[in-house]
Structures are given as structure tokens and as C-alpha cells.
Amino acid sequence: MAKNTVTITDNRNGNSLELPIQQGTAGPPVVDIRGLYPELGLFTLDPGYKSTAACTSRITFIDGEKGILLYRGYPIEQLAEQSNFTETAYLLLKGELPTQEELDGFNGLIRKHSMVHEQLLHLYQGFRRDAHPMAIMVGVVGALSAFYHDELNIHDQQDRERFAVRLLGKVATIAAASYKHALGQPFVYPDNSLDYAGNLLKMLFGVPAEKYEVNPILSKALDKILILHADHEQNASTSTVRLAGSTGANPFAAISAGIGALWGPLHGGANEAVLAMLAEIGDVKQVPKFIKRAKSPDDPFRLMGFGHRVYRNHDPRARVLREEAKKVLEALGRLEDPRFKLALELERIALEDEYFIEKKLYPNVDFYSGIIESAMGIPTNMFTVMFALSRCVGWIAQWKEMMVDPDLVIGRPRQLYEGAGPRDYLSIEQR
């Protein structure tokens, strides 16, 4: 029996099969079960994919036990401190950090694609003013597939590269426009003299009547937020993009599917839910009551911004953002912000509580991002949009990787069927 194998025996009939174990550069070894169905006629059942690696990847690595996150091998803390968003995007998309010349070229391409077709802007008029900006994002990013379809050959490497910079260039403009639409203010066109975060701030908060000065502390903090959210291996939205993309669908449509998946409060929507929760708790004195509710098996309430499927330790992104939140609030003279104080108290009490310790529930990235964004003046319903626009980088990188994967086939899970067996149709009179 080979050493790097797992032997599986079907005790009903004694049939057995040796399955190879593959070891990546890091992370738990993986049993390659591809022979299971052809050889033994068995499927595996793993709701929520808690034990399933759906693909091989070289982009992002998470060690959930140790609280480590690496993009292409580089620790997230170093990137957040020393890199910037477009350089990190280059790293994720291409695998290596760029030279100055490569970075200049990449930034130039993103800028070249920062404007959107005027007809696309007309789409916004079809949305009610109170439409959730994530709903607008799903629609407008999906609509890019109508503008770039016939000439986009997903099997052509240059076309895939063009798609990448086109989406990165446009998504910030689309995101800012979804905010301006709600305000009833004119859309602010991109300013290619600014960096990515500065331009985004200008498109969000600028108005044609006044000159907009980018606050360097805010643009640095926003840039950090973008870096921290750029990729996170095979999470729900990334897996959605991969699944939709595996059918050969237009990649803008696949990304739109990912935006839909990100919206949920258990995923990217948690940042919005954190602020709603802090507002509901209202006062530091109420914290024990809500902690009690979060622990009760009979109460659906959960501490939003706490817990993670993969991290059983501190989410390293939350650590960076906790410090950044302090810096931003201090710079804005709002260190006494009651929501920040409430968040710190909630974190303190939860981290000392037996329930949270035992279940290894720590603050995740969403716990602090909303506090910073809110201090910047970004409204709560735009938080997940900010997440989506930065995660576009990861989705594109993962889609590009998938498209050249020799193992690429259409994603098609199977099921354990527990429904009715075959039966004859009854006419309506006989039922």
C-alpha cells in the first residue's frame, strides 16, 4: 500500500480503493477523490464544503488556526503597511510584485479604462433612488457584459488581460455612481491624475460646484481597506464566480453573480450588519444583554463581525483595521466616537466569554471596516459595495487562474437525493 494514500473500503461489499493524498506548499493535505465515483460508485456529502477543496490555486493562502493570510506568499500585514491597492492588485493578478515600470504601465491601463460608456450611466435612471447600491452593482456590473461580449474571447489571454483592467478601471466609477444616484447628485467623472483610492473618494464625495481636496489620511485608510479585502481564497462569492465562469459565461456576468453572493449578511454584508447591530445595542451598558442573546441557542441573533469559517484565531485583517480605525478617528478628532467605544467594549467582553473562547469566535474583517468607512462619511449601505469593488481583484485573479487550469471542467456538484421515488402522474381529479 503506497504511503501517500487513503484507502477507502465500502463495507457493504468489501470493494476498496486507494486514493492519492496531495500536499500543497502549505495547508492541510488533500485526498484526491476523483476516482471515487468511477471506481466505487460513491459520492461524498459535504454541505457547506467544510472538508472540500474545490480547486487548486496559487493565489491566496489562509492558515485559519494561526490567523495567517498571504497573497502570493506575502503576509497581508506587510502589504497593508508597505504596498498600495493597485500594486497589490498587480501581485494578485500576475503572481509577482511589479517593477516600477510594470506598475506604471498597469496603473496607466486601469486609468485608461476608468470611464464608463455613457449609455451605461443611463441605466441608473431605471433604479429607484432608494434602491440598495448592491442591487445596483449586481445590475450595472452584469450589464457590462452587454457592452463587452462579442469581441471578448475568454480563451484569448490578451482579452482576459483587457477584461481585468477594464473591470478594475470601471468598477470604482460604477460603485461611486450608485451612491450619487441615491443622493440625487450628478455623477462625478473619474480623475486620472489621482491614485485609485483618491479618485474613488473624489467620485464619492466631490461635486461639480466645488474643488475636491483628497484627505491623504482618508485615502491611505481607504487604500488599506481595499488591500485587505482584495482576495480571500475560495469563499462563497469567489466560488460563485468560479462556478459561473466554469460554464464559459461572460466574465462580467460571472463577477455580477459573485457580487450577489457577497451581499449576504453572513459574507460581505456583515459590515453593514455590524453597524446596524451597534445601533441596536446603542449603549455600552446593553452589551451583556446582547452577548447573552448571541449565546442563546433559541435566539437567531449573532454577533455580526464575529466568527469565520476558516479563522479559528484572530482574523489578521481585523487586527490591521482595529489599529487603522484608531488612526482615522484620531485624525478626524473622533476618538470618542460612541460606536467605536461600543465596538471595543463588545470585543473585550466577547473575547473573555467562555462561549466565544470555546467556539473560537474572534472579530473578523467586517467588525472594524464599517467603523472606519462610517467615519469617512461613507453611508452604511455602501459598505458592502466598497468590499465588492476591492474583491473584484480577487475574483478576476481566480477566474483568470481557472481559465488556464488544465483541470477546468464545468462545476457540477451532485446530491444525496431523499425525495420521492418514481410514481405515476395523477390527473387533477384523482388527487
| Catalytic residue list | 308, 366
Look up residue 62 and give its three cell numbers. Answer: 489562509
Q: Which residues bind ligand CMC (CB under 6 A)?
A: 235, 266-268, 270, 294, 302-309, 359, 361, 364-366
Cα 253 vs. chain centroid, distance in angstroms? 16
Look up residue 279 and give its three cell numbers. Answer: 445601533
Q: Closest approach of Cβ 404 to ligand CMC, in Å?
A: 27
Query: In the complex with ligand CMC, which residue's Cβ is closer, 306 or 395?
Result: 306
Look up residue 233 and give its three cell numbers. Answer: 481564497
Who contacts 165 (Cβ-Cβ below 8 Å, separation ≥6)?
A: 106, 109, 110, 112, 113
Helices (H) and strands (E) in the chain, counts: 17, 6
Looking at beta carbons, which residue is closest to ligand CMC? 307
Q: Closest approach of Cβ 297 to ligand CMC, in Å?
A: 6
Distance CA 359, CA 357 (A): 6
Q: Closest approach of Cβ 387 to ligand CMC, in Å?
A: 7
Sheet holding 74-75, edge to edge: 60-63, 68-71, 74-75
Query: In the complex with ligand CMC, which residue's Cβ is closer, 84 or 384?
Result: 384
Query: In the complex with ligand CMC, which residue's Cβ is closer, 124 or 356?
Result: 356
Q: Are 225 and 80 in contact (CB under 8 A)?
A: no
Q: Closest approach of Cβ 143 to ligand CMC, in Å?
A: 24
| SS3 (DSSP) at 72 | coil
Who contacts 241 (Cβ-Cβ below 8 Å, separation ≥6)?
A: 254, 255, 257, 258, 395, 398, 399
Who contacts 101 (Cβ-Cβ below 8 Å, separation ≥6)?
A: none
Q: Closest approach of Cβ 411 to ligand CMC, in Å?
A: 20
Query: In the complex with ligand CMC, which residue's Cβ is closer, 244 or 294?
Result: 294
Query: In the complex with ligand CMC, which residue's Cβ is closer, 365 or 389?
Result: 365
